[in-house]
Structure 1
Amino acid sequence: MTADDGQAVDHLRRLAAQLEAHSFKVCLDAPAGPPPRLHVTNPMVPTVSEDVLAAHEEDGEWWFWLSWAGRIGHAEDIATAAERVASVLHVARR
């Protein structure tokens, strides 16, 4: 694991804790090779899930990204990032 991967895992763990506190299921995947990712699932609708990555910009600032390259929030603003992930995984009740 590279130093960047280690930092990404640290950021993803903090986001995972915030999402778990709001009842989302999370699974941190940090294999050798591909970047670490956090798989987040809506427990009310298990087919609704998303992968979140943490990466830094050239200026060194860390951000969270959705798997389809949607930047969702600064790594230091866990609450906002968690809210944005939740909004992506939200399913309206009928």
Structure 2
Amino acid sequence: MTADRDPAIEHLERLAAQLEAHAFQVRLSAPEDGSPTLRVINPMEPSMAEDVLASDMNDGEWWYWLSWGGRIGHASDVVTAAERIASVLYVTRR
């Protein structure tokens, strides 16, 4: 990661690419006065959406978090994090 880029954005971009590969819609938001977030939407059921954040634990370890504070997984394991998010946004059709 380069020193001039926000590491949270870089982690969220990696996660976004993984989620797009699973056919989820993603939208990265990086407000100047707040934390970057990744909006993840299930295109088959747009009401199923979640905001994801990337944050370090002040020890250099980066984690993905759901907007309500649930820890998803370590940022170095993007595949597992994407699978966990997919399981939250999965809709069973009857």
* TM-score normalized with structure 2 length: 0.93
- Number of the residue aligned with 2:43: 43
Deviation at 1:59, TM superposition (A): 1.6
CA–CA distance in structure 2, aligned partners of residues 59 and 30 of structure 1: 23
Root mean square deviation, CA, Å: 1.1
Q: Does residue 59 of structure 2 align to residue 59 of structure 1? A: yes
How much identity, in percent, do the aligned residues show?
64
Deviation at 1:34, TM superposition (A): 1.0
Q: Decide which structure has greater helix share.
A: 1
CA deviation digits over 1:29-80, x for unaligned, max 9?
A: 0011110000000000011100000000022100000001000010000000
Alignment-mate amino acid for residue 21 of structure 1: A
Q: Secondary structure at the match of 1:69?
A: coil
Deviation at 1:22, TM superposition (A): 0.5
Q: Which of structure 1's runs of 4+ aligned residues deviate more than 6 A?
A: none
> What are structure 2's unaligned runs of at least 5 residues?
none
- Number of the residue aligned with 1:82: 82
Q: Where in structure 2 are the equivalents of 1:10-49 lying within 5 Å?
A: 10-49=10-49
CA–CA distance in structure 2, aligned partners of residues 27 and 58 of structure 1: 26
CA–CA distance in structure 1, aligned partners of residues 68 and 13 of structure 2: 20
Q: Secondary structure at the match of 2:9?
A: helix
* TM-score normalized with structure 1 length: 0.93
